[in-house]
Each structure stands twice: as C-alpha cells, then as structure tokens.
C-alpha cells in the first residue's frame, strides 16, 4: 500500500493529526494496534474527558515549565479556544466545569457538555472517516525503515509505503490501553535521543506509614510544597490518603517535579502539606480559640475536626501528644500552637512515585531539542513527525496534556500535508 502520510497510533494526537492532514487533501493512513481507537481517551477525566483548560496560550505555556518554550508555537496555533470551536463544529459542545476537582481555585477544566468521553472519540473518528482517512485497526507495527525517501512501515499483514510518517504512539502510562513505548523504539531507529520515561501525574509513596491508617480520607483543598535545587514548588488541590501515601490532583501534580529524583529510599524527598490553606495560621488559631470559648467541654479532637476530617484530627492530635480525651478548656497555649503548626505544615517524606503503569501521563520521551517546534518534524530525519505523549513534554492535571496532544497533532498533520 502507498500513501502520502502514515500515522502510527489512533489516540487523540493521531486522530487529530489525521483530520488535519486529510483536510489538506493528503491521502492518510492510520495504523493502530488496538481493535478500536482512542482507548486511553475514553478513560480520561474519569470517563468524562477533560479535553482542555480554559486559559490563554501564554498561561498554558507556563504550565509546561521548561517545555513551554518548545510548545509555545503550537499552543498558540491551536489554542483552547480553537479546540472548543473545533469540537463545536463536530457537534460536540463543551462546558467549563464550575467546581473543577483538579483546580483548587475554581473553574477552568473543559468537558464535553454530555460528560461522555465516547462522544469526543466518536466525533473525531466520524470526521476522519468523512475526510477519507483509512484506518487499519488491530495492526501492530513491527518495523519501520526509510527506503528511497519513502518510509516502509511493516505491520502484521503488509508493508505500507509513505512519503511522511507521524509517530503518535503515546508513552508508557496505562499500558492496558495499548501504550507500550513502541514510539521510542521507532524514534531511536532514526537517530533520536529518548529522555528516560518516568511516571507523571501519579500517586506518591511516603516513608511514613501513618497515611495508610487514613486510606480513603480526602481533603478537598490542600497546599503541598517542596524545594528542589533552591526552587520552591507548590501544588494545590484535592488530596486523598492511600494505603501507602497520597493520591489526588495535588499529589499527582507534585509527582511531576519529584519523579526525576525518585526513588529515594536513602534520601527521600521532603514535602510539607498545609491541610487548611484557606486559613492563615493566625486565622486558624483565632477560630480554634473562639470555638473552645463557646465549647470548653468539647474534646480537642472534635474541635480540630471542625477544620479538618475527623480521622486526620485524631492522628494529628496523637502526633502532637494531645490526649484524645482532653477537653478544649484544658488545652494549653503551647499544645494549641503545636497542633496549629501541624495542621498548617504536615511533614512527609516521599520515597517513590507509584509505578508508571498507574501514571496518567509519561514524563520523558523524544527529546524536544531534536524536533522543529513550528512543524513537529524531526530535525534528524526528513519527513518524520511526532505528536502527543511520545514527545518529552507533560503538564499538570486539568486538561493540559490533552491540549498538548491536540496542538502537536494538529500542527504535525498540517505540516506533513503541506511539505
């Protein structure tokens, strides 16, 4: 089979790359190992598909930290506003979440109005089909070589010869959806450097065992801080205690920064968790004093439970050395200040992240210094393009990573069709 463009992978980046290339009139073939497209897409946002974030491109760029400069062009070319308009044209209206669980400061997360990830996937597939994109499902690519300026892609049934090749295979996270790291192998074959793949947006494992006693307890808003090479890192949002540490958006966002330095059993990474960031320390103390004044016979653990979950209150009182039967009226100033300090700054030691198989996204991938940011074309191999999570760029929770897939995929598809 011969074609103008061959795309490996039918995830979000591959699907939108196919649409943009076919819209330019380029004959496009998509090869997908799974029997259906977009398996990981169907799981995003808890099955609701947090497909982007309501933000200006310049704000998106900052969220990707040092990779923001590389992504700046594509995020401006195909912005969150463009994404919403694009899906509106596909009869998939979108809405902004009013109380977004990933963002402690309010709205910003964008979902399909139906709250169904399947609607997003199906709309993409329908548009691609209408544009004449040829999908080959259940076909795992085993080998790719370049012969006489053509890419020869060998799958389980045939060889496909293409003028241009777009690798959109994803990373290593959620391998049950088909993410196996094949794209890294193909990229290496053409001389590309692969930055080590690590888990990102994944739960954190603590050296301390006490979080396991609170497994399932959630806090809707915390602030986690740490310091890495003299840089203060802050992650805010919801958190949930797990059997061996912390999960939830705040912990997952912090994992982006810690993953490069873990595992660290010999030298764990220290973090501080403020369990009541909406109160300044002085405000919290005033509130507790006033509550004790009105309820002097109430147990201290129950008074603290007015500000944090009861199970956490019991544990922090225990750590502070406060008797579980002590009444508020008997609470000494020194013990009160000790408790307040602990509520505002719970120290924890992170020894590792959860495994990459449990990570929402992969940190690492094809080195961005070897990719042209204005086309997504390889600087090493002419006609080779990359899109989506296979690239070494990852963002926080909240729709940022899908936005990166849409932006890099749209750019790669358009650029491949034009050349």
Q: Are residues 328 and 218 in the same domain?
A: yes
Tally of domains within the chain:
2
Q: Are residues 96 and 211 in the same domain?
A: no
Q: Are residues 333 and 391 in the same domain?
A: no
Q: Are residues 322 and 373 in the same domain?
A: no
In a domain, 147, yes or no: yes
- Long-range CB contacts (< 8 A, 24+ apart) of 332-341? 336/285, 336/288, 336/289, 337/285, 339/288, 339/300, 339/304, 340/281, 340/284, 340/285, 340/288, 341/281
| Cα–Cα distance for residue pair 314/214, rounded to 1 Å | 10
Q: Are residues 284 and 220 in the same domain?
A: yes
Residue 284 region by backbone torsions, left for phi larger than 0, else alpha for psi between -120 and 50, else beta: alpha
Q: Are residues 140 and 192 in the same domain?
A: yes
315 lies in which domain range? 203-354
In a domain, 223, yes or no: yes
Per-residue pLDDT of the chain in tens (419 residues, 90 and over written 9): 999 999 999 999 999 999 999 999 999 999 999 999 999 999 998 899 999 999 999 999 999 999 999 999 999 999 999 999 999 999 999 999 875 443 444 569 999 999 999 999 999 999 999 999 999 999 999 999 999 999 999 998 999 999 999 999 999 998 888 888 999 999 999 999 999 999 999 999 999 999 999 999 999 999 999 999 889 999 999 999 999 999 999 999 999 999 999 876 668 999 999 999 999 999 999 999 999 999 999 999 999 999 999 999 999 999 999 998 999 999 999 999 999 999 999 999 999 999 999 999 999 999 999 999 999 999 999 999 999 999 999 999 999 999 999 999 999 999 999 96
Helix (H, G, I), strand (E, B) or coil at 1: coil
Domain boundary, last residue among 299, 331, 354: 354
Domain boundary, last residue among 307, 333, 354: 354
Shortest CA distance to 3 belongs to which of 144, 133, 187? 133
β 159-167/2-8 pair status? parallel
β 94-96/109-112 pair status? antiparallel
Treating both helix axes as pointing N-terminal to C-terminal, what angle do 12-23 and 117-130 enclose, rounded to 10 degrees? 30
In a domain, 359, yes or no: no
Q: Are residues 344 and 221 in the same domain?
A: yes
Q: Are residues 249 and 171 in the same domain?
A: no
Shortest CA distance to 156 belongs to which of 32, 243, 280? 32
Helix (H, G, I), strand (E, B) or coil at 120: helix
Helix (H, G, I), strand (E, B) or coil at 282: helix
Q: Are residues 232 and 248 in the same domain?
A: yes
In a domain, 192, yes or no: yes
Q: Is the dihedral of CA 35, 377, 192, 358 positive or negative?
A: negative
Q: Are residues 387 and 292 in the same domain?
A: no
């Amino acid at each position: 089979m011969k074609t103008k463009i061959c795309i490996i992978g039918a995830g979000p980046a591959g699907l939108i790359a196919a649409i943009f290339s076919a819209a330019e009139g380029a004959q496009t073939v998509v090869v997908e190992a799974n029997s259906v497209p977009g398996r990981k897409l169907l799981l995003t946002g808890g099955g609701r598909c947090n497909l982007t974030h309501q933000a200006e491109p310049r704000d998106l760029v900052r969220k990707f930290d040092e990779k923001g400069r590389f992504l700046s062009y594509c995020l401006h070319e195909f912005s969150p506003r463009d994404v919403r308009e694009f899906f509106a044209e596909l009869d998939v209206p979108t809405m902004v979440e009013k109380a977004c669980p990933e963002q402690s400061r309010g709205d910003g997360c964008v979902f399909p109005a139906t709250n169904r990830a399947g609607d997003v996937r199906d709309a993409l597939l329908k548009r691609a089909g209408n544009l004449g994109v040829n999908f080959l499902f259940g076909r795992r690519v085993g080998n790719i070589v370049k012969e006489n300026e053509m890419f020869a892609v060998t799958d389980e049934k045939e060889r496909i010869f293409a003028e241009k090749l777009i690798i959109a295979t994803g990373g290593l996270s959620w391998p049950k959806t088909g993410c196996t790291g094949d794209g890294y192998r193909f990229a290496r074959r053409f001389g590309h450097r692969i930055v080590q793949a690590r888990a990102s947006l994944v739960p954190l494992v603590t050296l301390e065992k006490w979080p396991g006693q609170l497994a399932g307890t959630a806090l809707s808003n915390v602030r986690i801080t740490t310091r890495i090479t003299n840089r203060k890192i802050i992650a805010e949002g919801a958190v949930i205690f797990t059997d061996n540490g912390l999960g939830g958006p705040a912990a997952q966002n912090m994992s982006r920064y810690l993953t490069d330095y873990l595992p660290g059993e010999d030298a764990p990474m220290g973090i501080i968790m403020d369990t009541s960031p909406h109160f300044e320390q002085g405000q919290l103390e005033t509130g507790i004093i006033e509550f004790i004044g009105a309820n002097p016979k109430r147990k201290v653990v129950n008074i603290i439970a007015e500000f944090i979950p009861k199970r956490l209150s019991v544990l922090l009182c225990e750590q502070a050395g406060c008797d579980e039967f002590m009444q508020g009226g008997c609470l000494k100033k020194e013990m009160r200040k000790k408790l307040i300090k602990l509520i505002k700054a719970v120290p924890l030691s992170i020894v590792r992240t959860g495994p990459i198989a449990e990570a929402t996204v992969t940190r690492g991938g094809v080195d961005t210094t070897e990719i042209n940011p204005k086309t997504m074309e390889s600087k090493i191999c002419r006609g080779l393009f990359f899109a989506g999570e296979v690239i070494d760029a990852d963002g926080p929770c909240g729709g940022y990573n899908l936005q990166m897939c849409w932006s890099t995929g749209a750019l790669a598809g358009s650029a491949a069709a034009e050349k």
